[in-house]
Structures are given as structure tokens and as C-alpha cells.
Amino acid sequence: MGDVTLAQAYYALAAFLLLAGWLIVTDAAVLRTFRRSQGATYLLGLAAIAWFAWWLFNIPDADLAGISRTLVLVVFLGASLATFVYMPDFLSVRALGALMLFLARATLDAGYRQLPHSLLDASVSYGVLVLFGFWWACSPPVFGRQCDWVLATSGRRNVVGGLSLVLGLACVAQSFLLP
């Protein structure tokens, strides 16, 4: 996501939260099949690989500690693509977790030193994206258990999905209040 403005960061957060909220409230079947979906695995896995490869390609040379950028990219891409063969189970959830962490970093970078305008950004990024991104990337079966628990009753779906929708709308509203 490169250098994004705080408004763009809020739009990205809003899109993520509104999509998640809508999927939860509507009890979308994709939440039940997502964990082992090959389509989701390839889509999210390749998106996460591309985002991180782009980041590696653009970091300053000093951050590479003298290692050839080409070597770093080749090793990373090779290891990443090998996960599709050697670790395919729950890879869609791991990729979602990685993308959530990348999104959190981009939004936090955009909001750095822009208090109080970035308080909602920081709260959502740390409270939702970082917490659940790390949790799901480290232990993907937890995603399945959490989805099953949330989707078990309409009350839980409405509360969790509604909270996500409200946070998404708050992000959109906050983007209009920026100086």
C-alpha cells in the first residue's frame, strides 16, 4: 500500500470491516467453507505473497543488511510458493491473517503522529487487525472455532457483525472529519 493518506487508510479499514460485518450478519456460506477453500487459498495467498514481495522490493538497501535484494526475493518467493504444496491446510486463513497484518501496518504508518485523528485507526488496527491477524496466522483452527461460535446463533451474528459494520461506518465517517 506504499504511502497512503490517513483518509485512504480509513477507507481500506472501512472496506475490510464492512465486508466482514456483511458476511457475518448475512450468515454467508463462504465463512463456513473459507478455511479449506482452494480458491480463497490461491487468491489470498498470492495477494499476501505479492504484497510482501512488493514491500521487499521497495525497502531501503540498508534494511537488507548487505544481502542481495534479488537473493532475498528469490528465497522468499520460493519459500512462499512452497507453502501451497507443503502446507496447504488452512492456508487461506493464514494468508488472511498476513493480509490483516499488512493492512494494519499500512494504516498505522498513515496515522503515525496524527493524533487525535488516527485514534480510531490505531484502535481498530491494533484491536482487530493485529490481534486477530496474529491469532489466525499462528493458529488457523481458531478461526474455524470462532466462526462456528459466532455463526451458531442469530444473536451472536447480529452483535459481532453489527459491531464490525458500526466500526466500518465509523471509519468512513472519520475519513470525512480529517483536516
pLDDT, tens digit (0-9, with 9 covering 90-100), for 118-165: 888 889 999 899 999 999 999 999 999 999 999 999 999 999 999 999
Q: How many CA atoms lie within 13 A of 161 on its CB side?
A: 21
> Is this structure's pTM higher than 0.85?
yes
Domain definitions of the chain by residue range: 6-37+90-176
Show the cell assigned to 84: 501451497
pLDDT, tens digit (0-9, with 9 covering 90-100), for 32-49: 898 889 999 999 999 999
Instruction: Give me the DSSP letters along 142-168.
Output: HHHHHHHHHHTSHHHHHHHHHHHHHHH
Contact yes or no for 90/140 (Cβ under 8 A): yes
